[in-house]
Amino acid sequence: MERPETRYAKSGEFHIAYQVVGEGPPDLIYVPGWVSHLDMYWEQPWIERFLLRLGSFSRLLVFDKRGIGLSDPVPDSAMPTLEERMDDVRAVLDASGSERAAVFGQGYGTPIAALFAATYPGRASALVLYSPSSRTGPRTSDYPWGPTAAELEAWIEDAAGWGTREFAEAWVARLAPSAAADTRFVEWAARMMRAAASPATSNAFSRMNALMDVREILPLIRVPTLVLERSDAVLPKGPFDAPPGAEARYVAEHIPGARLVELPGRDYLPFVGDQDSLVDEIAAFVTGVPPAREPDRVLVTVLFTDLVGSTARASELGDHAWKQLLERHNAVVREQLTRFQGIEIERVGDGFLATFDGPGRGVRCASAIVAALRSEGLDVRAGLHAGEVELLESGIGGIAVHVGARVAAEANPGEVLTTSTVRDLVAGSGIGFADRGWHDLKGIADSWRLFAAVG
């Protein structure tokens, strides 16, 4: 067949390469795993058939993540964060004219897909997670499916063989064992790796991928979700064997109403082995989803700011001067909200309540507000939390709003304080954090570990 035209969506400063296969409805966007290359896809018959089958029941949007394949390269020292990669999904939907699509994530693409569905339930008609990863870092006491820190570091640093036949042979033997004897597939895999990323880029992305952790947002996903797994497939998380199916079951158990389907097979790559059963499950789920209501609960980052010592300052300046200074305060806050794409919800006392669709923008906005107002002689404290909120006619509600307010109350003058959820979601963004320990937040159950944004 004739290859689909490669187009480009603008996401921030970067161009994201994407293609459209099929006509739909519905729309379906495929978030690939580790490496991808749109042109190379169509040189491999199995992938070609896989994409055409997906496009037979949908308008399929397939793309290369920024820094990979045909998308703009990124500096190895500035790999994209999870939030930025989520933005790339939205950019492709916008550029292709898609208002709402089912989101299909594979492997390392599943944290991106999950975060997008939780953040934009109005644009995600359904969520399909194949061989999902909720965390990609080293194992911990509450996450037994990762490598040890030493194993992970050794795996990341072992990039010398990237793109060689030997490397591709080992890669195929692990992730697509039923294709291990197919020399043409192994040769294609080696060429695809070299075309998709350099050894240095592979190393940098592996290090960035190891920072993804979306476990805390799984219960906040409110769109119909299908979790797929092949019963004997080995997850591509490094030089060790994770129990097949264990994490898929964990993910399905933590997403409300999610359905888990375990298919027979030992190939992790979805287009190798029995791809028909996999595609059939996706097609039945995506085309059978009932009409969705407008979402009334969404994942956002909540920001509270508070002007410190306002009563004493007003008494010192007098009503007229204080009113002028307060108007300047409001203008500065709104200027930074516009700059970082924040949404003003309401004025709260001498501060603001605002929301963001990405925690990184929220932290940077709060820091910019603190810095800008300090130059005006004003001290501001800020608190942020990422969680599910209820959309009300009069604003927003829910426990996440209360947590954000309590976090702000714990902040020192001139400090931007966040929950661990925010800190985890912006991992790799370059934002530094100082541990402020555990706090009991008034009226909120349990103790909360808080972090101050620094630098």
Q: CATH number, domain at 351?
A: 3.30.70.1230
Determine, yes or no, domain membership for 2. Answer: no
pLDDT of residue 159: 61
* Domain tally, the chain: 2
Could you tell me the CATH number of the domain that includes residue 77? 3.40.50.1820
Residues 322 and 235 in one domain: no
Determine, yes or no, domain membership for 292. Answer: no
Q: How many residues does the chain have?
A: 455
Task: Quote the DSSP letter at residue 65.
Answer: P
Residues 253 and 311 in one domain: no
The range of the structural domain enclosing residue 264 comes to 7-287
Does residue 230 contact residue 268 with C-beta atoms inside 8 Å? yes
Residues 240 and 146 in one domain: yes
Residues 337 and 380 in one domain: yes
Q: How far apart are CA 401 and CA 299, in angstroms?
A: 11
Tokens of 336: 């930074």
pLDDT of residue 239: 45
Does residue 227 contact residue 260 with C-beta atoms inside 8 Å? yes
Angle at 306 between CA 295 and CA 337, to 5 degrees: 50
pLDDT of residue 304: 97
N-terminal to C-terminal alpha carbon distance within the chain:
53
Residues 397 and 435 in one domain: yes
Which H or E run includes 264? none
pLDDT of residue 133: 87
Residues 82 and 204 in one domain: yes
Residues 120 and 208 in one domain: yes
Does residue 302 contact residue 404 with C-beta atoms inside 8 Å? yes
Does residue 9 contact residue 15 with C-beta atoms inside 8 Å? yes
Question: What average pLDDT values come out for the chain (455 residues) when binned by 10 residues?
Answer: 89 96 94 93 94 94 95 85 93 97 95 95 96 83 78 68 88 90 93 91 80 91 95 64 77 96 93 92 86 74 90 72 85 94 90 94 96 89 95 87 96 96 92 95 92 91
Q: How far apart are CA 63 and CA 65, in angstroms?
A: 6
Determine, yes or no, domain membership for 1. Answer: no
Single residue among 269, 287, 305 that ends a domain in this structure = 287
Residues 191 and 211 in one domain: yes
Q: Strands 101-106, 27-31: parallel, antiparallel or unpaired by DSSP?
A: parallel
Residues 355 and 220 in one domain: no
Task: Quote the DSSP letter at residue 293.
Answer: P
Residues 323 and 415 in one domain: yes
Tokens of 429: 């963004």
> In the chain, how long is the greatest CA-to-CA distance?
83
Residues 242 and 306 in one domain: no
Could you give the 3-state DSSP secondary structure of residue 250? Answer: helix
Contacts of 30 (CB under 8 A, 6+ apart): 51, 54, 60, 61, 62, 63, 104, 106
Main-chain phi, psi angles of 129, to 5 degrees:
-115, 115
pLDDT of residue 38: 96
Does residue 121 contact residue 298 with C-beta atoms inside 8 Å? yes
Single residue among 287, 305, 327 that ends a domain in this structure = 287
Tokens of 119: 């953040």
**E-only strand ranges, 43-123:** 59-63, 101-106
pTM of the predicted model, to two decimals? 0.86
Short-list 17, 50, 22, CA closest to 267: 50
Contacts of 425 (CB under 8 A, 6+ apart): 82, 83, 115, 213, 214, 217, 359, 360, 386
Single residue among 238, 267, 287 that ends a domain in this structure = 287
pLDDT of residue 22: 93
Q: How far apart are CA 82 and CA 182, in angstroms?
A: 35
Q: How far apart are CA 280 and CA 291, in angstroms?
A: 20
Determine, yes or no, domain membership for 41. Answer: yes
Residues 259 and 241 in one domain: yes
Residue carrying the six token digits 């300090």: 374
